[in-house]
Amino acid sequence: MASGPDTKPTLTPAQIQRHFLLRRLHSLTGLVPIGVFLVVHLVTNSSLAWGRFALRGKGEGLTVAEGGVKYFQHEVTFINESVPHLLLIEITLWVSIAFHSILGVVYATSGKSNLQRYPHQDNWRYTLQRISGYVGILFIFYHVATLRWGWTFLIPEGTKWSHSFSASTLAAAMQGSTEGFTIFGVAVSVLYMVGVTALVFHFANGLWTAAITWGITISAKAQKRWGIACAGLGAGLMLAGWSSLIATMTLDYDEAHLIERQMFIEKYGEAEYEAYVEQKGIETADPQPEQSTGSGGGE
């Protein structure tokens, strides 16, 4: 018997390749660009909390909140005005997110969670990965729709986000008004807390599973060690996410607006400012209270 009586696969090579490619692309898009963007985004946003310290000399006399606003606004301006091919990056990102989401839902619905019978930690994460995926999709949609596409009808009192008044308008969007928390604002904030938490978990856990999927961590020990690393990264991102959320939720609209106003005027002049807020419908703040916040604001 020269050749073995071995079977031939029933699927065509093309079918096999396509399936594999989709699976791997799904995994890859989760890491790059989505994962990378998530890290950059959360770190940038968390500058609302730590920006004051990064300003060093330039932030002298500012409160932590004010310094955060200043640094954050600076970052946002840089991204919006200096990063090349921003539109291309955004399109790539959105296509990736759409791809990852749609395939993710298809894949997730092919499984059936069985936590009651097998309540292991890994199995919990399997289930949470899917739940966090669903939550993440809804959250990202709301987040982008309201703050990027300007679907203001989804925001209580319709505050529209402006990248020139990034911190204040963000705070207003999350708090529900420019005057502090409303009941809707609480809901939006909770959505943000849940959404950010879900996405950070999804990313950190996805990073762990990706190493198995791609065959980077083979031994159980390696998987465990990488798991600890992913947990560490997740904790860091969680810290960044939550600190930006807390900073935003505790931010005073007027206070933030004045910092941004000053930065705007320094760059474009007073007339431009008046025209811009008029055109965008951004609620202005009275510069008078400047005195009450002490001497720092004037410098």
Number of shown-chain residues binding other proteins (CB under 8 A) = 47
- Establish if 224 lies at the interface with other proteins (CB under 8 A): no
- Establish if 228 lies at the interface with other proteins (CB under 8 A): no
Residue with Cβ nearer other proteins (192 or 208): 208
- Establish if 109 lies at the interface with other proteins (CB under 8 A): no
Q: Pick from 36, 86, 216, 228: which binds other proteins (CB under 8 A)?
A: 216
- Establish if 117 lies at the interface with other proteins (CB under 8 A): yes
- Establish if 128 lies at the interface with other proteins (CB under 8 A): no
- Establish if 213 lies at the interface with other proteins (CB under 8 A): yes
Question: x-or-dash pattern for other proteins, window 169-208, by CB under 8 A?
Answer: ---------------------------------------x
Q: How far is the CB of 113 from other proteins (least distance, A)?
A: 5
DSSP letters for the chain: --S------SS-HHHHHHHHHHHHHHHHHIIIIIIHHHHHHHHHHHHHHHHHHHHGGGGTT--HHHHHHHHHHHHHHHHHHHSTTHHHHHHHHHHHHHHHHHHHHHHHTT----TTT---HHHHHHHHHHHHHHHHHHHHHHHHHHHTS--GGGSGGG----TTSHHHHHHHHHHSSTTS--HHHHHHHHHHHHHHHHHHHHHHHHHHHHHHHTTS--SHHHHHHHHHHHHHHHHHHHHHHHHHHHHHHT--HHHHHHHHHHHHHHHH-HHHHHHHHHHHTPPP--SGGGGGG-SGGG-
Q: Pick from 85, 153, 219, 295: which binds other proteins (CB under 8 A)?
A: 219
Q: Pick from 37, 126, 134, 151: which binds other proteins (CB under 8 A)?
A: 126
Residue with Cβ nearer other proteins (211 or 237): 211
- Establish if 11 lies at the interface with other proteins (CB under 8 A): yes
Q: Which residues bind other proteins (CB under 8 A)?
A: 1-2, 4-7, 9-11, 13, 15-17, 19-21, 23-24, 107, 110-114, 116-118, 120, 122-123, 125-127, 129, 208-209, 211-220, 223
